[in-house]
Amino acid sequence: MAAPTRVSAAPVIPAVTDGTLHRSLGRLDLVAMGVGSIVGAGIFVTTGIAAATKAGPAIVLSFVLAGAICVLVALCYSELASMTPVSGSAYTYTRDTLGAAPAFLVGWNLLLEYAVAASAIAIGWSGLFSAMLDSLFGATLPHAISAGPSDGGVVNLPAVLIVAALVGVLIFEVRIAAAVVKTLVALTIGVLALVIAVGAPHLHPGNWSPFLPFGVHGIAAGAALAFFAYLGFDIVATSAEETRDPRRNLPWGIIGSVVLATALYVAVSGVLTGVAPYSSLNNAAPVATALAAVGAGWIGKVILVASVVALTKGLLMVCYGQTRLVFAMSRDGMLPKTLCRTNSRGAPVRLSLVLGVVIAAVAGLLPIGTVAELVNIGALFAFVIVSIGVLVLRRTAPDRPRPFRTPFLPVVAVCAIAGCVWLATTFEALTWLRFVIWSAAGLALYLFYGRGHGTAVAAPADLSAGGVA
């Protein structure tokens, strides 16, 4: 292997410092992880509400449009992931294209995205788990241990326990987490196939007329809402350093998971709007409500169990993505380097435990509220930067090996950027204000800590050459 190219006079750190992340994930693992991140319990809710309030039966086109924007972003991710198959995802790509300061801001916003998303999912899991116990067994958890202080309880114990359980999975070899995710994804897809099979015989084409009750604008409005059901596919890129032959398998995992998720969303929304009038779907359980109306009331309990399963795998993947992001940032010195130590199995145990305690404390004691909107804007910010990064590297490093090349550049990247910016314009001014304040706090942290402790890293080509087995 050729000697690493130095970026500056600072010492070069190797691909791994105090340990190594083991490459054990294959193509199917990556697709399952991507689908596990994207297709959550929201598929049983978002499809109906978006149809009732935004697009009507044309919600199927909204999901196609939202999926198309995600595919454009995924194509950009795939090129950079194949060039630099190491942990960190958008943070790493930004560091290699635009520099340390923009990279820190991307990582800082993704850190908030993962932390808030994980806490929100844990709280949602607790509520659904309690509802499932009541529905199946008639058991009700005491309010004191099923809600945080802000909701009149003492601690949201189910939320704390599910975080603890999943952190326990993460501290073992990544293959254990991948096996758990594949099992839960298979169960979720099985339930979705059941929903489609039960609903298909009761389709009434008349429910699809008018197809565009909200006009063409409704398709776009529905896509803006539907897009956020896709957030999470970028978590696949954080597994780059644990993937076998990442140059080939990462693009498959990233793009394949988006395409499969789009097919599931389109199929479920098509059946749902064909079974019941779209205007009747604006409720907390639209799929169960619609199928109950055609004599399949038992499906409600199945969906409740499936929702708990879906949130479980979603929470596991968000926790996984967060640990790999912080691992990359700490290895670069942007955060304390002690966090990037791994055990003999290649798992960042100390980091997983620290983040698990933080997530469990937030989920158990605090409300999430409107801060969750920052999840969306932080993800869009990362998507835009990654798409810009592809264009920058094509100009600044045109001869670097690209195992996967984003087709039809610059059109794909420009359209990805335009789509994300358009979606960002749908946010309220208060969300933008929170984003600016959080980013300013991150910039201050970088100036006072990250810039001084950050260490130059090996050139991306050298890093990627270090592990494609």
Each residue's pLDDT tens digit in the chain (469 positions)? Answer: 333 333 333 333 333 445 467 788 888 999 999 998 888 877 887 888 889 998 999 999 999 999 999 999 999 999 998 888 888 888 999 998 888 999 999 999 888 888 888 888 888 888 888 888 888 888 888 888 888 787 788 888 999 999 999 999 888 877 888 889 999 999 999 999 999 999 999 999 999 999 999 998 899 888 888 887 787 788 888 888 888 888 889 899 999 999 999 999 999 999 999 999 999 988 878 888 888 878 887 888 888 899 899 889 989 998 998 998 999 899 888 988 888 888 777 778 888 899 999 888 888 887 665 455 566 788 889 999 999 999 999 999 999 999 889 999 999 999 999 999 988 887 888 888 888 998 999 999 999 998 888 765 443 333 333 333 2
Do residues 251 and 78 touch, judged by C-beta distance below 8 A? Answer: yes
3-state secondary structure of 182: helix
CB-based contact 442:109 (threshold 8 Å): yes
pLDDT reported for residue 429:
85
DSSP codes, 230-285:
STTGGGGGGGGGGBSSHHHHHHHHHHHHHHHHHHHHHHHHHHHHHHS-GGG--SS-
Place of tokens 């499932």: 132
Rg (CA), the chain: 22
- Rounded Cα distance, 231 and 43, in Å: 13
Residue 262 contacts residue 67 (beta carbons within 8 Å): yes
Beta bridge partners of 243: 25
> How far is the C-alpha of 382 from the C-alpha of 122, rounded, in Å?
24
- Structure confidence at residue 20 (pLDDT): 63
| Phi (first) and psi of residue 138, to 5 degrees | 70, 20
What pLDDT sits at residue 64? Answer: 94
DSSP-derived secondary structure for 26-74: -HHHHHHHHHHHHS-GGGGTHHHHHIIIIIGGGHHHHHHHHHHHHHHHH
Closest CA to 460 of 98, 49, 115: 98
pLDDT of amino acid 368 = 61
User: Helix 215-227 to helix 411-424 angle, to the nearest 10 degrees?
Assistant: 90
- Cα–Cα nearest to 131, from 305, 291, 363: 305
Q: How far apart are CA 50 and CA 120, in angstroms?
A: 21
Q: Count of alpha carbons within 13 Å of 106, Cβ hemisphere only?
A: 30
Q: Are 221 and 65 in contact (CB under 8 A)?
A: no
Report the alpha-carbon distance of residue 252 to residue 239 in Å, rounded: 13
What values do phi and psi take at 146, rounded to 5?
-125, 10
What fold characterizes domain 27-453?
Amino acid/polyamine transporter I (1.20.1740)
Where do the domains of the chain lie?
Answer: 27-453
CA–CA gap between residue 37 and residue 234 (Å, rounded):
9
pLDDT score, position 206: 93
